[in-house]
Amino acid sequence: MSRIPEPVQTPEGPAYEGRLLDRVDEEVVDQGAAFDLRTLVSRRRVLGLAGLGVGAVILAACAPATGGSSTPTATTGSSGSSAGTADGVIPDETAGPYPGDGSNGPDVLEESGIVRQDIRSSIDGSATADGIPLTVRFQILDRANGGVPFAGVAVYAWHCTAQGEYSMYSSGLEDVDYLRGVQVTDADGWVSFSSIFPGCYSGRWPHIHFEVYPDVDSITDSANAIATSQMALPEETCSTVYADARYDGSAQNLAQTSLASDNVFGDDSAALQLATITGDADAGYTAALVVSVDTTTAPSAGSAPSGGPGGGDGGPGGGGEPPAR
């Protein structure tokens, strides 16, 4: 049986490996997700996790113990391992050229009905995206308050279609707003969206964008976002999904990129952004990610670039054009 680690008494209070305990009356193993995450992903120790699969280890450690809200067991595929963001805070990333948040033109966040759980159809029901079902789950943690669940914040999530197109931007989809929606976190910090598995377009690893806002009333101005980042999807699951005929071209695009070479995830191979996956291609999948947000630091990303290889979101052929149909 493994020995339970013992804290060390310091002038500031009990600590383990230099980190003050969040719950001074509890044992080290009962400190909770935020403390576990800080222990696992400090820049000095993350390389030692290489053989274990960083994404799987971090997310397993972050899985909450509250009933009904635990993160699914991971099926992560291959993800490289390198230094993650200090203290496990989610990395700031570009919103990309196709945010639909008003920062570069189209603004779905002004639309009545954008607060919705099922994002497979346009808000007015006029169009529905086709693809393998995917439930997308985020748990938001409040780093400034010791990593407790961040209740009441609004999460805006969006991603491309099975063909790698973006609603509101791609040719023929300018009047479509599916695969975009907002949910407000519950008492345990969770939101959930019913969607489809996104395709893989040239120049980017398969991903889902998201912005976190202080509350639902703040979503009408993208400058109010307290975090902007992206969820990476595991290679093994992507390869299975992209065998489906509706994802024509995605398998070839996936073979031409990697987490390590991606212009967003390449800094650390998505160590803190790789989703856990459960399910199968027949019944659909669930992708979950624990997101630690630090409101004591100013967001360093979120503006929508012009696109192309230098713009942060890839897309074929430079110059910011959405993937062609």
In a domain, 317, yes or no: no
User: Is residue 312 included in any domain, yes or no?
Assistant: no
34 in a structural domain = no
Here the CATH number for the domain that contains residue 126 is 2.60.130.10
Indicate whether 289 belongs to any domain: yes
Residue 68, pLDDT above cutoff 80 = no
Which domain, by its residues, includes 113?
86-293
Model pTM score: 0.72
Number of structural domains in the chain: 1
Is residue 195's pLDDT more than 80?
A: yes
The answer as to whether 31 is a domain residue is no
Note whether residue 274 is domain-resident.
Answer: yes
| pLDDT per position as a tens digit, 172-187 | 999 999 999 999 999 9
Long-range contacts of 170-177 (CB under 8 A, 24+ apart): 170/322, 170/323, 170/324, 170/325, 171/322, 171/324, 171/325, 172/325, 173/325, 174/106, 176/122, 176/126, 176/127, 177/100, 177/108, 177/111, 177/122, 177/123
Residue tagged 């959405």 (tokens)? 322
Answer whether residue 76 is part of any domain. no
| Residue 270 scores a pLDDT above 90 | yes
In a domain, 146, yes or no: yes
197-253 per-position pLDDT tens digit: 999 999 999 999 999 999 999 999 999 999 999 999 999 999 999 999 999 999 999
